[in-house]
Structure 1
Amino acid sequence: MTVDRRRASAALAGLLLGLLAVLLGPAGPADAHAALVASDPGSNTIVPDAPNKITLTFSESVQLISGKIQVLAPDGSRADQGDPQANGSTVTIPLRSGGGRGTYLVSYRVVSADSHPVAGTLTYSVGAASAPPTETQLDQSVDPVVRALIPVGKYLGYAGLVLLVGPVLVLALLWPHRLSRVGPARLVWTGIGLVLGSTALAVWLQAPYTTGTGLFDVSADDLQDVLGSTFGAVMLVRLGVIVAAAFLLRPLLTGAGGESRADLALLGVLGVAALATWPLTGHPTASPVAGVSVVVDAIHLAAMAVWLGGLVMLTGFLLRRADERELGAILPIWSRWAATAVTALVLAGVVQALIEIASFKGLFQSTYGRLILVKVALVAVVLGLAAYARTLVRNRTAETGPRTLRRMVLAELAVTAVVLGVTAALVQIPPPRTAEASETAATSTTITQTVSDDSVSLQVDVFPATVGNNSLHLYAYTPDNKPLPVVEWTATAALPAKGIEPIEVPLLRLTDFHAVGDIALPMAGDWTFKFTVRTSDIDQSTLTMTAKIS
């Protein structure tokens, strides 16, 4: 091995080890790629009567995990009954009738459209708040070993694509007949093994990832649930396609000449089908324009696999074994292929980033956006190396061209190994559009306050507590938290700091102790609400509260 080759190999090994250190580094909180945007009853609200169901609404469609949704009553007993139902982004949880007063705890864990678990809790109260139940809460975490292994598995899958797609294309269209195919065949079989192995690992890891258990705490039922999900179906398709492709590849890899144009065309179809399985289990499926995102992501992967796989073949075999005449025919064609693949890679990556980041702020203020910037910088380095390599192809000499070109290709491969690692990390990080949906849900919540005097306790809900149309719900209780019949309700809203005099709020009586009204609040600020509650011909109370409207 020459000094240059030893240095290049050492540099590549160092980059790969550094990448694995990043992927296996300290684990942070579990990343959910969907957000709970609404619930009925709302989180931290008080309702007058026990509901017969709870509705959870997420920012994207979700699938249920067996046994991972429960509702606990104030005494710690189960308040839910029957099986919850998922319909797109909405989950409905049926409840037992006649639930008692106090605070209820809802725990949920579901799988988002991009195959990531979404877990959380919320509380609501019936009649009056109490200490929330704490017993037998569902585990909301992800095992750190499982979470660390998922991007490693994805990295191995990407590496398998590189060793499979690019080499097969070079063998089919550019490989000189006189050269042995033993080395490239081993490369292709390695790629097939990596794809199959990473797919099997992904199926196994998905079980503890979604249920929150340990790496070896997977039951047959857990695996059956995974295989019965959308994720499992896509993984099974990938396995079937790769196995079918392996049978068709044998003549090409042995050089026996038995492959036909029909076989090559079928291989192309299988390749497209295999590539499509990656975006179908990731961010693109939850994109606002899912069809566009899936196609763009598949193009991105295909361009990456063709380009990097071709570089591997170039540096590993052709630049060492092909003679000057063969290289003179191969390199110009490969140079055009690489230019086309890089163009597709960059354009597809830009479209993906625009869809996932959603705003200029998200590019700099989110982990996802900053990793995109790192990826862009690394790709810029690779493009510079590729441009120099293309110059060598055009102006190479017999003595220095292949040797220098090989060093440039090795450098390209070293940097792109890190790019693949960044890509593997990106699929585990929620994109800014998900974070923005979560923030919107967090800010669009009901303001709930209770004001009281010696005879009346009045709960007031203001929704959504923002400038514009708002709804008011009023619930009257006795000081000992029993429903209090009200004969007449009146309410006004004023903003003294901005000179807005009291505005009357028309109220509609729904029950003896519950009234509702709507009002348009024209400005943000600390609004003063005044309520008069008449409970008999001679008894009434006037109560005042301040609510911040944003």
Structure 2
Amino acid sequence: MTGKLPRLFVLLLIALGAFLAIPEPALAHAATVGSSPAPGSVVGASPTEVTVTFSETITPVAGRIQVVAPDGERISGLATARGAVLHIPVRTAKRPLGTYLISFRVISADSHPVGGAITFSVGAPSARPEATSTIETDATVRAAVPALRFLGYAGITLVVGPLMFLLFLWPRRRARTGGIRLVRIGLALTVVATLGALGTQAQQGSGAALWQVSAAELGEVATSRFGLLLLARLAILLVLAALLHPLLSEQRRPHESPARQPDESEQPGPHEERSREPGGKRARRTYPQRILILVLGIAALATWPLTGHAIAAPLPAVTVTVGVVHLAAMGIWIGGLITLLGVLLRGTDRRVLRVLLPVWSRWAALSVIWLALAGLVQAAVQVGTPEALVRTGYGRLLLAKLGVLVLVLAAAAVARRLVSRSAAGAGLRRTIGIEVAATAVILAMSAVLVQVDPGRTAGAQAGAVTGNGVSETLTSPLYTLQFNIYPVELGEYNTVHAFLYTPEGKPLPPAEWQISTQLAGQGLEAVKEPLLGLDPPHHALGSISFPLPGTYEIAFTIRVDDLNRATVKTTVTVPPKA
């Protein structure tokens, strides 16, 4: 055992390193599904307000939302959110004609940052303006967030599993120091992870490095829904620590020595705690206290799904409840394994273990059943469709996690057989060591998984608007043409806006508009499409089709009067569907 456990932990460290090397997870669980003015559209006058609509409720990040005018001037006021809609007031720009940029950074319902940019034009398209800053999540924050999640999950397991042993299964004559130490370490890890989550939330929104955070930003986080839930978790943990201290530190009778092992007749049933006072007064006195601990523990566990994917899912009441069950079952199972491996399997009399281990084995089996059922419900809601299991990063990581879980269950089955044979020696310790190492990998995968877009959002992300399109200016001796095509994708619905000017830059109403498209290198004929003249008369609107991916030649043929016409050409590339 002593020779193989270090190798197991080396493998564990390698696995954790592999997870840290996974490409940056998509920290955007809400997708932009629309805006007003529409992405890539051309409007006749500068709006007084622009809106961006998302696939779920969002919270704006102060100072990270702006509307930039064609000349680079920032013209936006204080942004507000109403549900899934971001409202941004704007003032009239000094030079209102041209292309505007909406740059935004918001926090989605599951506490992850969402950033992006959308363009629209007033009068006629122009060169796309640049935002005053480009916001991306800093590398230090990207590394810290899953690490803190892992610490939080580790803390849960070191509180729940050892605590269940101490309250219900601990051998009466075995020193409780090791179990109490595990619980205290678990509480400390959970507090550190919670404080870390509070301390990194602002940087996820601002794009700053891990250490670059102000008191004002921390105050905004603390008063947000996310911050209030984490502060509630800290308060519950403090109350739990106060309640657990006297309960876990019960003094043994003076003549009982931790080192002395019980006689055959002294062995207690591990599932029952013998009263040390006449009439079971101690058990009756601690019963309400244990109920209170159970209720507070459930409330603390609920803060995890309430700040994650579960709260943004289509059935939040179901997914939050299932999330609590999943965390509790995980804590009992993995935390119990750690308690056995780290404390009880060494130094406990074999006769006591013959009583304790079968009871624990039943507890573990029930925990695994509940863990599997909760995981199945979570997967059904979060993945969305069977295709998302293999087509999305979330689904593939979930399958990998399931594969490791199968290996763990195989090791658990071996451990159950060893328990049934009363083989509580090196073979059992080795098997449980494998379970602990593999379940630590599962915790690491879970920490990464919560940072990845759920499979159910794949459709929203695929259909998210980006403001991408083609805007260009073409010239001929007769005229200057400005045009915009949006969104430049396969299909029939690619909108064209065209604006005609004299070579000197004055609006030029033409006698006739026409546009044609031809797929290059395929020997196909050009497809001609009409453009409809609008008011003002130098503006035309139309729609073109891109039936196949590839490079298309776009030709505008414009007759400026009865005798004069000219054709200008350019190319656009249409990507295949993802």
Output one character per residue of 1:146-190: Cα deviation in whole Å (capped at 9) or x when no partner.
Answer: 211111111111111111011111111111222221111111111
Corresponding residue SS for 1:327: helix
Instruction: Please point out which of 320, 323, 336 is paired with 2:362.
Output: 336
What does residue 211 of structure 1 align with? 206
Q: Quick one: distance in 2 between partners of 1:485 and 1:261?
A: 87
Alpha carbons of structure 1 residues 111 and 411: separation in structure 2 relative to 1, 3 Å: same
What does residue 42 of structure 1 align with? 38
1:147 aligns with 2:173: no
1:77 aligns with 2:73: yes
Instruction: Please point out which of 4, 28, 37 is paired with 1:32.
Output: 28
Q: Quick one: distance in 1 between partners of 2:399 and 2:406?
A: 10
What does residue 132 of structure 1 align with? 128
What does residue 259 of structure 2 align with? none
What does residue 447 of structure 2 align with? 424
Corresponding residue SS for 1:197: helix
Does the CA-based 8 Å contact 1:35-1:437 persist in structure 2?
Answer: yes
What does residue 105 of structure 1 align with? 101
Does the CA-based 8 Å contact 1:471-1:516 persist in structure 2?
Answer: no
Instruction: Please point out which of 222, 228, 231 is paired with 1:233.
Output: 228
Corresponding residue SS for 1:55: strand
Does the CA-based 8 Å contact 1:30-1:141 persist in structure 2?
Answer: no
Corresponding residue SS for 1:121: strand
- Aligned partner of 2:150: which letter? Y
Corresponding residue SS for 2:296: helix
What does residue 157 of structure 1 align with? 152
What does residue 66 of structure 1 align with? 62
Q: Quick one: distance in 1 between partners of 2:141 and 2:482?
A: 49
1:173 aligns with 2:168: yes
Q: CA deviation at 1:67?
A: 0.5
Corresponding residue SS for 1:370: helix
Does the CA-based 8 Å contact 1:27-1:147 persist in structure 2?
Answer: no
1:117 aligns with 2:116: no
1:387 aligns with 2:413: yes
Does the CA-based 8 Å contact 1:476-1:485 persist in structure 2?
Answer: no
Alpha carbons of structure 1 residues 311 and 263: separation in structure 2 relative to 1, 3 Å: same
Instruction: Please point out which of 240, 247, 254 is paired with 2:242.
Output: 247
Q: CA deviation at 1:350?
A: 2.4
Corresponding residue SS for 2:35: strand
Q: CA deviation at 1:205?
A: 1.6
Alpha carbons of structure 1 residues 30 and 211: separation in structure 2 relative to 1, 3 Å: farther
1:365 aligns with 2:391: yes
- Further displaced range: 447-456 or 189-198: 447-456
Output one character per residue of 1:318-376: Cα deviation in whole Å (capped at 9) or x when no partner.
Answer: 33344344333322221111111111112222222232222333322333222222211
- Aligned partner of 1:375: which letter? K
Determine what percentage of the aligned residue pairs are the same residue: 40
What does residue 89 of structure 2 align with? 94
What does residue 350 of structure 1 align with? 376
Give the TM-score, by structure 1 length: 0.83
Q: Quick one: distance in 2 between partners of 1:183 and 1:369?
A: 39
Corresponding residue SS for 2:136: coil
Q: Quick one: distance in 2 between partners of 1:30 and 1:252?
A: 44
1:54 aligns with 2:54: no
Alpha carbons of structure 1 residues 226 and 403: separation in structure 2 relative to 1, 3 Å: same
What does residue 402 of structure 2 align with? 376
Does the CA-based 8 Å contact 1:8-1:410 persist in structure 2?
Answer: no
Corresponding residue SS for 1:177: coil
1:412 aligns with 2:408: no
Q: Quick one: distance in 1 between partners of 2:134 and 2:515?
A: 45
**Where does 1:293-304 land on structure 2 (aligned, <5 Å)?**
293-304=319-330
Alpha carbons of structure 1 residues 296 and 498: separation in structure 2 relative to 1, 3 Å: farther
Give the TM-score, by structure 2 length: 0.80
Q: CA deviation at 1:248?
A: 0.9
Q: Quick one: distance in 1 between partners of 2:484 and 2:161?
A: 65
Output one character per residue of 1:50-109: Cα deviation in whole Å (capped at 9) or x when no partner.
Answer: 1222211222221111101112222222121x2111112211111112551122222211
What does residue 320 of structure 1 align with? 346
Aligned length: 535
Q: What are structure 1's unaligned runs of at least 5 residues?
A: none
Alpha carbons of structure 1 residues 335 and 439: separation in structure 2 relative to 1, 3 Å: same
- Aligned partner of 1:174: which letter? L
Q: What are structure 2's unaligned runs of at least 5 residues?
A: 252-281
Q: CA deviation at 1:12?
A: 3.8
Does the CA-based 8 Å contact 1:42-1:124 persist in structure 2?
Answer: yes
Q: Quick one: distance in 2 between partners of 1:78 and 1:333?
A: 67
Alpha carbons of structure 1 residues 504 and 17: separation in structure 2 relative to 1, 3 Å: closer
Alpha carbons of structure 1 residues 79 and 438: separation in structure 2 relative to 1, 3 Å: same
Q: Quick one: distance in 1 between partners of 2:482 and 2:202?
A: 48
Q: Quick one: distance in 2 between partners of 1:361 and 1:331?
A: 42
Q: Quick one: distance in 2 between partners of 1:28 and 1:473?
A: 36
Output one character per residue of 1:393-414: Cα deviation in whole Å (capped at 9) or x when no partner.
Answer: 2222xxx434322221111101
Q: Quick one: distance in 2 between partners of 1:432 and 1:328?
A: 45
What does residue 21 of structure 1 align with? 17
Does the CA-based 8 Å contact 1:530-1:544 persist in structure 2?
Answer: yes
- Aligned partner of 2:433: which letter? L
Alpha carbons of structure 1 residues 251 and 421: separation in structure 2 relative to 1, 3 Å: same
- Aligned partner of 1:305: which letter? G
- Aligned partner of 1:43: which letter? P
Alpha carbons of structure 1 residues 424 and 285: separation in structure 2 relative to 1, 3 Å: same
Q: Quick one: distance in 2 between partners of 1:100 and 1:504?
A: 29
Does the CA-based 8 Å contact 2:24-2:142 persist in structure 1?
Answer: no
What does residue 279 of structure 2 align with? none
Q: CA deviation at 1:459?
A: 5.3
- Aligned partner of 2:30: which letter? A
Q: CA deviation at 1:25?
A: 3.8
Alpha carbons of structure 1 residues 251 and 374: separation in structure 2 relative to 1, 3 Å: same
Does the CA-based 8 Å contact 1:45-1:448 persist in structure 2?
Answer: no
- Aligned partner of 2:18: which letter? V
Does the CA-based 8 Å contact 1:287-1:293 persist in structure 2?
Answer: yes
Does the CA-based 8 Å contact 1:41-1:54 persist in structure 2?
Answer: yes
Does the CA-based 8 Å contact 1:15-1:417 persist in structure 2?
Answer: no
Output one character per residue of 1:125-163: Cα deviation in whole Å (capped at 9) or x when no partner.
Answer: 2222333333x6223112211211111111111111111
**How well do the aligned residues superpose, as a CA RMSD in angstroms?**
3.9
Q: CA deviation at 1:29?
A: 7.2
Does the CA-based 8 Å contact 1:389-1:409 persist in structure 2?
Answer: yes
Q: CA deviation at 1:539?
A: 11
- Aligned partner of 2:346: which letter? R
- Aligned partner of 1:411: which letter? I
- Aligned partner of 2:242: which letter? F
Alpha carbons of structure 1 residues 161 and 465: separation in structure 2 relative to 1, 3 Å: closer
Does the CA-based 8 Å contact 1:15-1:418 persist in structure 2?
Answer: no
- Further displaced range: 476-485 or 12-21: 476-485
Alpha carbons of structure 1 residues 36 and 472: separation in structure 2 relative to 1, 3 Å: closer
Q: CA deviation at 1:442?
A: 5.0
Corresponding residue SS for 1:51: coil
- Aligned partner of 2:97: which letter? R
Instruction: Please point out which of 277, 282, 290 is paired with 1:264.
Output: 290
Corresponding residue SS for 1:67: coil
- Aligned partner of 1:280: which letter? L
